[in-house]
Amino acid sequence: MSDTEELAGAGGAEAAAAPPPVVDEPPAGHRGGLVLALGALGVVFGDIGTSPLYALQTVFSIDHNDVQPTPSDVLGVVSMVFWSIAVIVSVKYVALIMRADNEGEGGILALVALLRDKLGDARRLAAATVLGILGAALFYGDSVITPAISVMSAMEGLVVVDQGLARLVLPVSVVILTVLFVVQRWGTTAVSKAFAPVMAAWFVVLAVLGVPQIVQHPQVLRALSPTYAVGFALGRPLVAFIALGAVVLTITGAEALYADMGHFGPRAIRRSWYLVVFPALVLNYFGQGAMILRDPSTTANPFFRLAPAWATLPLVVLATLATVIASQAVISGAYSVSRQAVRLGLFPRLAVRQTSKEEGGQIYVPAVNWILFLGVLVLIAVFRSSGRLATAYGLAVTGTLFLTSLLYLLLAKRIWHWALWKVVAYGVVIGGLELAFFGANLLKIVSGGWLPLLIAGIVVTLMTTWRKGARTLNEQRTRLEGPLDEFVAMVREKGIDRVPGFAVFPHPNKTTTPLALRSHVTFNRVLHEHVAIVQILNENVPHIRHVDRVVVDDLGYGDDGIVHVCVRVGFNDSQDIPRGLALAIGRSPELDVDIEDARYFLSVLTVHATGAPGMTRWRERLFVWMAHNAANRTEVFHLPPERTVVMGVNLDL
């Protein structure tokens, strides 16, 4: 591993010390709040907002041909759709789960992080971590499938206009996806500014298309009563159960909504959902239901049949743009989940680029971006149509929904001390509905549901391998480093020669000895007169004032010329060690030096797979490969290459 020593921590510089304190979402002005709410339309709701294109069509398709366009079936299905959205999205995610944020971040791993900090029971903590790993792995499956199916379904919509365009679906899909993933480097803010107006227009069109049908056939509003959904389920249980596998398409994107919370904050997301997205979706689904009641033949393509003939082509163009944007929700969510996985020690350190000066969650993760892009291209090449991919859609979503609920209930009961009746009520109403969704989608495993399971299996393998290998390596590294006080005592006893100069050793804590410091003394048999051990501590605020950024502690080794410097940085501050260290110059006698004379020594462990007991040989090799591809700390810390020395030891895993 060429550039890291914090393997078992939470990913190097981002979690070099204990987790920073949770801070409340900063209050936003009215104008700023509206801007964020509009931006959320362009990033967060793309996936769930485009479900009306295919959800009801899928329910009445040949795969669910026992669902008939009769009043009882139509009202039952529409009632299922309404209450699924209301219970799972409005109540569970927007009203409840979004309260469980970890330093402003959302997603299933945010729940794991909260439980890790609060739970004292090792067994419950281990169970929570396993559930989080499974849920995050399933979310990655959804993150690969959604862009592929969204863009292909959009391009296939062009065939409605001209059958001759069918041959262009795949190549145009690849071009659009390439552009989408390339523009991610400019950040969520830039992307949302481009996408938000389109999605705002999309939700207005959804409502406008649905209202005339509802006005003409107001009897569809009876589906607002849950009795129609219950009656459908009790009267035709098998048919209703199979139909759930398609109804779940109306709530795909709910987990991405939670995972994207760090990009815009809960206030903006709630405002957009309750004022724009939820009403527009309800009006459109009820409009489709009203139209089917009037003309059963419209089940073949109820969404586009809502529009008058003259508006079909413009609607196809707008739908194409909207479904492309739908991919953004899971892409942004994957960035957030990946950073949280790093902090939890489930992934190696990743290069994370902050793309906003105001919102800490707005990030770009290059490695994740291009891995998702490669996976999406493979899916397009293998499945070649959205219809074939549709069989795989839903299992990853419903699995993540259920696992998120389990973790949330554990948090609510053990940490928030919910009353038992609240836990039971949540479990019966929300958990029961999610179990039904999950069971209905299990029927799809053979026909395509294996795909998200395969992707999840790969991610679980990577996470568990890194977690186990990092824990093993950390134990060995700690033994190699040894306590800092013993090292200082050895320097005194052996009378190590001190040479002029200022040596800086980046290190994640103040208790053990940096390997580079130990190697420097062992092999060179000298030590600089002035030594600084520098720790980067990330705080979840935009900016740390210069006067508050540096904390100096001589650890009792002032007479030995050794001092510890903690550099606190906000998410908009650079992790620039030379710049942070410059603020500490002169704050103690040990730091009465010229920063331009500083020499930086990075600790390195070069890991080798030896087949030793504890890990299988293939897992060792996988771990070593992941370690070698971790982000380079020299670049992360902005160390000058001409004054940076890399030192360390070889270690057999």
Is 476 inside any structural domain?
no
* pLDDT at res. 215: 95
Is 7 inside any structural domain?
no
Please indicate, yes or no, whether residues 239 and 362 belong to a single structural domain of this protein: yes
- Find which of 81-90, 440-449, 458-467, 573-582 is predicted with most confidence, using mean pLDDT: 81-90
* pLDDT at res. 3: 40
State the residue range of the domain holding 590. 482-652
Please indicate, yes or no, whether residues 413 and 319 belong to a single structural domain of this protein: yes
Please indicate, yes or no, whether residues 257 and 361 belong to a single structural domain of this protein: yes
CATH number of domain containing 303: 1.20.1740.10
Is 67 inside any structural domain?
yes
Site of tokens 């969510």 = 333
| Whole-number CA gyration radius for the chain | 28
Task: Reply yes or no on whether the pLDDT at 191 is more than 70.
Answer: no
Report the C-alpha gap between 483 and 12 in whole angstroms. 20
Higher pLDDT, 395 or 241: 241
Neighbouring CB atoms inside 10 A of 241's CB total 14
Site of tokens 């948090």 = 411
Structural element, H or E, at residue 143: helix 122-156
Please indicate, yes or no, whether residues 282 and 406 belong to a single structural domain of this protein: yes
Please indicate, yes or no, whether residues 190 and 301 belong to a single structural domain of this protein: yes
Please indicate, yes or no, whether residues 531 and 574 belong to a single structural domain of this protein: yes
State the pLDDT confidence band at 41, using cuts at 50, 70 and 90. Answer: confident
Instruction: State in Å, rounded, how far the first CA of the chain is from the last one.
Output: 11
Report the pLDDT averaged over residues 229-251: 90
Please indicate, yes or no, whether residues 283 and 326 belong to a single structural domain of this protein: yes
Number of residues that this document lists for the chain: 653
Higher pLDDT, 248 or 357: 248
Lowest mean pLDDT among 9-18, 476-485, 588-597: 9-18
- The domain boundary residue, chosen from 438, 468, 498: 468
- The domain boundary residue, chosen from 468, 498, 533: 468
The predicted model scores a pTM of: 0.73
* pLDDT at res. 342: 79
**Residue 147 one-letter amino acid:** P
Please indicate, yes or no, whether residues 354 and 497 belong to a single structural domain of this protein: no
Please indicate, yes or no, whether residues 103 and 211 belong to a single structural domain of this protein: yes
> pLDDT by residue (tens digit) across 4-31?
444 433 333 333 333 333 333 444 444 5
To 10 degrees, what angle do helices 237-247 and 226-235 make?
130
Is 6 inside any structural domain?
no
- The domain boundary residue, chosen from 437, 468, 499: 468
> pLDDT by residue (tens digit) across 205-227?
999 999 999 999 999 999 999 99
Considering the chain, what is the average pLDDT of its residues?
Answer: 81
Q: How far is CA 200 from CA 84, 204, 267, 426, in A?
A: 23, 6, 18, 33
Q: Which two tokens mark 31?
A: 């104008």
- Find which of 75-84, 266-275, 390-399, 601-610 is predicted with most confidence, using mean pLDDT: 75-84
Please indicate, yes or no, whether residues 207 and 269 belong to a single structural domain of this protein: yes
Is 434 inside any structural domain?
yes
* pLDDT at res. 293: 93
Beta-strand pair 526-538/497-506: parallel
Beta-strand pair 562-569/526-538: parallel
- Find which of 26-35, 285-294, 392-401, 449-458 is predicted with most confidence, using mean pLDDT: 285-294
> pLDDT by residue (tens digit) across 411-431?
898 889 999 999 999 999 999
Neighbouring CB atoms inside 10 A of 606's CB total 14
> Taking Cα atoms as reference points, which of 120, 3, 14, 2 lies closest to residue 347?
14
Q: Which residues pair with 527 in a beta bridge?
A: 498
Please indicate, yes or no, whether residues 488 and 452 belong to a single structural domain of this protein: no
> Taking Cα atoms as reference points, which of 81, 80, 89 lies closest to residue 47?
89
Task: Reply yes or no on whether the pLDDT at 354 is more than 70.
Answer: no
Please indicate, yes or no, whether residues 201 and 146 belong to a single structural domain of this protein: yes
How many domains, the chain?
A: 2
Strands (E), 224-369: 353-354, 363-364
> Taking Cα atoms as reference points, which of 360, 349, 344, 352 lies closest to residue 544?
360
Lowest mean pLDDT among 305-314, 487-496, 603-612: 603-612
Q: Could you tell me where the DSSP H helices lie in 391-502?
A: 395-414, 420-426, 432-442, 450-481, 484-494
Report the C-alpha gap between 109 and 119 in whole angstroms. 15
Is 499 inside any structural domain?
yes
Is 475 inside any structural domain?
no
Is 180 inside any structural domain?
yes
> pLDDT by residue (tens digit) across 84-128?
999 999 999 999 998 887 767 777 877 887 887 677 667 777 888
Q: Which residues of 273-300 are buried (b: 16+ CB within 10 A; e: fewer)?
A: beebbbebbbbbbbbbbbbbbeeeebbe
Residue 316, judged by CB atoms within 10 A of its CB (0-12, 13-18, 19+), counts as: middle
* pLDDT at res. 82: 97
What would the DSSP string read from start to end of 77-119?
HHHHHHHHIIIIIIIIIIIIGGG--BTTB-SHHHHHHHHHHH-
**418 in helix, strand or coil?**
coil
* pLDDT at res. 420: 93
State the pLDDT confidence band at 635, using cuts at 50, 70 and 90. Answer: confident
Lowest mean pLDDT among 392-396, 513-517, 535-539: 392-396
